[in-house]
Structure 1
Amino acid sequence: MLLRQDGDGVIAISQPSHAWLAGQLARGWGNAAFERPAPHEEVCLGAELHDIGWLSWESAPVLNPDSGLPQDFREVPVATHVDLWRSGVRRALQYGRYPALIVSLHADTIYGSYFQPGTASEEERGLVRALLDEQHAFQRECVAALSANPRHAGRLGTEALERNRLLVAAVDLMSLHICWGVRQEIRVPLVPTMGEGRTALILRSPGQDPAALTVSPWPFAADRLELVAEGRRLPGRFTDETAMRRALGEAETAVLTVTLSPG
């Protein structure tokens, strides 16, 4: 769950809703400077499904007693988080191997930082290493199974898969900041362009309005992109998890609409 400040309260945005917005970004992607996702439907669906493992958690979120709010996704313990990721890959596989492959590849993006000094305990790194070993084996199995399909010719090599991983990483990071509400310049690194090219995107809010943002350089096919996500308004803080869950279920829907334009 993402928590967006909203006056004296917060808007709680589920991980799947944030992923829905990431999928919208992926579907709009591609122009003369930025290669269109390929295979298009599978990559876009993978981007949209990348947090599907959170479905069960989001239906019964855990209370953070210090904040009085649902746990932010960054507060969820590593042991829980890696199990959610395993579940997400299994669920994505029900849609197809390539979308599941995209979700699995995103694990390398999410968990790579756990091996930087001082970012995780030895126990946490062990849990993450076990998950990544499983996912790398799964990825190899997917590539072997998909290689017989002519649709995926040229889309299963190391560079093609790395391009798709980086693309999903980019739309994930953009979606997170859009959901939080962009008010200062955001840099999105290592965004794939054409071939093996990489660049950084800059996301800005020129009028300090998180509903009207600019992106430079512009990676989308259309000259503007309309995005939508949904959250729920939580007006206060809670000391009881059951009460928090009840309030979340009864909360007013907050529809977030955002327009992106070249900047």
Structure 2
Amino acid sequence: MGADVGLPRAQRARHRRRARGLPRAPRRAGHAPARALRHRPRDPAGRARPGPAEDRARAVILRREGEHVLGVTQTAHSALTGHIAAAWTPRPELPWDALLTAAAIHDVGWAPWELAPQIDPRTGLPYQFYEVPDREYAEIWARGTDAAATFGRTVGLLVSRHFTRLAGRREGVRELIERERERQAALTAALGLDAATLDAASDLLARWDAISLDVCGGREPELGAWPFAVDRLVVRFEARELPAGAIVAREVGMAGGGSGHPHARA
């Protein structure tokens, strides 16, 4: 308790990052000029200024419709994942309630980033979620797995497993992956869940996540045999025209045909 008290500020920050499993922060250039963010409103001199949150182009999933580019926030996608999960045919052998909650909040760690997303200088658009640099990615998921744990131990375990599944190939987040592996081992032992149940739950969460990403990105999801408990499913989400355009609503309907394949429309 209070182990960092009395240390220099920079050293305390390094200790906090190490304790959370985050990679070391890179050194900052002494007087590097700030790069203007193209999606932000500008003052008369042409300088970018933050503006209110509702005026920012918040998006990490890009949806192209003709010549237009729409952005869907990662948190909106996460909520949509929860709606898809809630319509799924239940599997009583799995921790169903916790799994539905995990689906809806699995990207909760992205919320602060969405308020001021980084811009890809090559495109002038926000980075897509898979393009976010490792340091920021680790910060987002360290925050997200900690937040998910507040919804319950099983929810926290499922979201932690989802993160390590997604981040397995990112060398820059190995410390956080190791931290989460320790969390998973402790929670698995405490909850008494077997590996087969956890693997099945994690597979289903990943499948819901992929369907939601397809819907948000304007692609027809691969459903195979009709998996929902209803004959027709209509999901809705909001997107923003980029850069810094109007917010628009999108509706996608899916119905099980005679072949079991969905029919999606936007």
**TM-score, reference length from structure 1:** 0.70
Q: Deviations over 1:130-176 (max 9, x none)?
A: 222111111122223334xxxxxxxx110000001100110111111
Q: Say whether 1:79 aligns with 2:135.
A: yes
Q: CA deviation at 1:10?
A: 1.3
Out of 73, 78, 97, the residue aligned to residue 19 of structure 1 is 78
Q: Say whether 1:255 aligns with 2:263.
A: no
Give the partner amino acid of 1:72: Q
Q: CA deviation at 1:38?
A: 2.8
Q: Which position in structure 1 is the counterpart of 2:115?
A: 59
Gapped regions of structure 1 (runs ≥ 5): 115-123, 148-155, 187-202, 204-214, 237-246
Asked if structure 2 preserves the Cα contact closer than 8 Å seen for 1:82 and 1:131, the reply is yes
Out of 231, 239, 261, the residue aligned to residue 239 of structure 2 is 231
Equivalence map 1:106-255=2 (5 Å): 106-112=162-168, 114=169, 124-125=170-171, 127-147=172-192, 156-182=193-219, 203=222, 215-234=223-242, 236=243, 247=244, 251-255=245-249
Asked if structure 2 preserves the Cα contact closer than 8 Å seen for 1:26 and 1:37, the reply is no
CA change 1:252–1:98 in 2 (3 A) is: same
Paired residues, number: 198
Distance 1:11 1:71 in 2: 13
Distance 1:38 1:50 in 2: 17
Q: CA deviation at 1:72?
A: 1.2
Equivalence map 1:18-37=2 (5 Å): 18-30=77-89, 35=91
Q: CA deviation at 1:76?
A: 0.7
Distance 1:37 1:257 in 2: 32
Give the match's secondary structure for 2:151: coil
Q: Which position in structure 2 is the counterpart of 1:45?
A: 101
Give the partner amino acid of 2:252: V
Distance 1:41 1:172 in 2: 17
Q: CA deviation at 1:61?
A: 0.7
Q: CA deviation at 1:36?
A: 5.2
Give the match's secondary structure for 2:255: strand
Q: State the 4+ residue runs in structure 1 displaced beyond 6 angstroms.
A: none
Q: Deviations over 1:42-81 (max 9, x none)?
A: 1011011111111111011111111011111122101211
Distance 2:116 2:65 in 1: 22
CA change 1:36–1:21 in 2 (3 A) is: farther
> Could you say which structure has the higher strand fraction?
1
RMSD (Å), alpha carbons: 1.8
Indicate the structure (1 or 2) with the bigger Cα radius of gyration. 2
